[in-house]
Amino acid sequence: MPMLKLLIGCLGISGLIYLALCGWLWQRQRWLMYLPTLAIEATPDAVGLFYEEVWISVTSDQPGDQPGTLHGWWIPSEQPQSLTFLYLHGNAGNISTSFNLDRIRHLHALGAAVLMVDYRGYGLSSSPFPNEARFYEDAQAAYQFLHQQKGVDPRHLVLYGHSLGGAIAIQLASHRPQLAGLVVESSFTSMEAMATRSGYNRLFPVRWLLTQSFPSITRVQQLQVPVFYLHGLADLSVPAEMSQYLYEATASSRDLWLVPNADHNDIAILAGDEFEQRLSQFLSDHVLVNQAG
């Protein structure tokens, strides 16, 4: 009997520890998913681009949130009547990382204007720490800024999202069918699908603990804008088949480019000139042709 009581006691303590760990994971998951940095590493002039610093007001429907401010850079086009890209970056760093600056350099080289912004909690943008709903609010605020302050016609606006930014862009595009187009680089089908691939799933019921969903695989079924998916076949962060699944589920016209040997952040490096050529071809085939019509 003493041994049985000891065993029951140990099991009870183990159960409490397990529940406590589940509670910690439920509470702290955003800090595991989102990895913002505050320091600005460089500005667009580091890649030869003239820019204007912009500050965008954002309000929130979430209890306790105060009005905030997004920091961003506006890179105007040298060509009149050009397209505009709204660039939405991934879960780590901020707009000043070399990867993000290189992306806008490529987009600007297509003759387009570009707005890139940091979400709340990233770079010089205000607090609080991000969550899924705040990401969507921030993207919507950037869209409104372009439309109302810069006079950008939504029919001339293309969203570009990398990784987590792709999921944010998909959500915004699902509510804005008048947009010119959407480019989604190295993104995922849903946060649940990503979580089930993680090491946490071996020990915890992650699908029941998730508070951040990003259900892109469902949202793409309602898209009415043309979409270009691109993904590296050697991506160790997000498997390339997730872009394949998004492509197959998308209701609107779409293209898919799977880049051999490319990882999560080096598609443009490995593809070279083909990167801009593929983007230009997508714009010609699906975006500019619709505007001409």
Q: For 59-89, how does the pLDDT look when each residue is reduced to its tens digit (9 = 90+)?
A: 988 888 899 999 999 999 988 778 999 999 9
The percent of residues above 90 in pLDDT, for the chain, comes to 75
Residue 26 reports pLDDT greater than 90: no
pLDDT of residue 248: 98
pLDDT of residue 293: 46
Q: Looking at residues 125-144, what average pLDDT do you find? A: 97
Cα–Cα distance between 253 and 224 in angstroms, integer? 8
- Sequence-distant (6+) residues with CB within 8 A of 135 are 119, 164, 168
Please give the residue that has the higher pLDDT: either 8 or 112.
Answer: 112
Q: Looking at residues 33-47, what average pLDDT do you find? A: 96
Helix 273-282 with 98-109: angle, nearest 10 deg: 60
Q: Looking at residues 141-163, what average pLDDT do you find? A: 97
Q: Looking at residues 192-203, what average pLDDT do you find? A: 76
Q: Looking at residues 182-200, what average pLDDT do you find? A: 89
Q: Looking at residues 142-162, what average pLDDT do you find? A: 97
What dihedral do alpha carbons 152, 155, 156, 157 form, nearest 10°? 80
Structure token pair of residue 202: 């071996």
Q: Looking at residues 259-288, what average pLDDT do you find? A: 94
